[in-house]
Amino acid sequence: MSQTPVELYDYGVLRTLDVGTLFVLELTEPLLVLGSRQTPDILDGGRLGSLTLRRRRGGGGLVLLGPGDLWIDWWIPASDARWSPDVRVSALRAGGWWREALRERLGGDVEVYDGPLAGESSHRVVCFAGRGPGEVFVHGRKAVGLAQWRVREGILMTSLLRASPSVAVVDLLTREPEGLREALDHHTCNSLGVGDPHGLVEDLRRLSGPWGCTAPPLMR
């Protein structure tokens, strides 16, 4: 593939927001998103079909998003008390919001990973194949992935609880790293028994807020 994918957000608009804002992104069809440092050459163009391809800024690898995913982004301007200059502190804070929301509903063993980036480096081509600070695990199995984009004006913290397994994205790669499919074993809304996703979103809003409310500035 040689085309340059459209960016996910209108990041210029995002940087003008001076109020902490929570975005709930709901998809009606699958969306394939590259990490900021990835090129379309990692994908087999003949297998993409009608999939829409975008690129996000910030850390993380390739992710195939779909309907039902709990995709929550927070824009935290530098003037907000929840902003921190420390990447790790910001990640652990966002993971803590998810942990409390999930504990209220699930009880049990819900933990925020506070160690260094872990996992095979070759597996980082795809999200959910490793461990990073702030990511949430339920009974030792990954549930919520995190990434962040940091600029002078603030932080965009992206979080995701998948509705379906991530292993399907492996079939879109030009090269499959050994062991990647096994590394992509993670929780989904179904395996966690999240029967009221909108209620979980409201719990997150309550536990992390207050937040402004506006439509996410996605590129069209």
Query: What b/e readout covers 32-48, taking b as 16+ CB neighbours within 10 angstroms?
Result: bbbbeebebebbeeeee
Determine the residue type at 14.
L
Which of 40, 67, 70 has the alpha carbon at shortest distance from 55? 40
pTM: predicted TM-score of the whole model, two decimal places: 0.95
Q: What is the pLDDT of residue 96?
A: 98
User: What is the model's pLDDT at position 52?
Assistant: 93
Q: How far apart are CA 95 and CA 105, in angstroms?
A: 16
Delineate the domains of the chain, giving CATH numbers in brackets.
6-208 (3.30.930.10)
What's the CA dihedral at 125, 14, 153, 206 to 10 degrees?
A: -90
CA distances from 9 to 6, 13, 51, 80, 113 (A): 9, 8, 18, 21, 28
Residues 60 and 156: beta-carbon distance below 8 Å: no
First-to-final CA distance of the chain: 21
Running DSSP on this structure, what letter comes out for residue 82?
T
Q: What is the pLDDT along the chain (220 residues), one digit of tens a residue?
A: 546 799 999 999 999 999 999 999 999 999 999 999 999 999 999 999 889 999 999 888 999 999 999 999 999 999 999 999 999 999 999 999 999 999 999 987 999 999 999 999 999 999 999 999 999 999 999 999 999 999 999 999 999 999 999 999 999 999 999 999 999 999 999 999 998 999 999 999 999 999 998 899 998 8
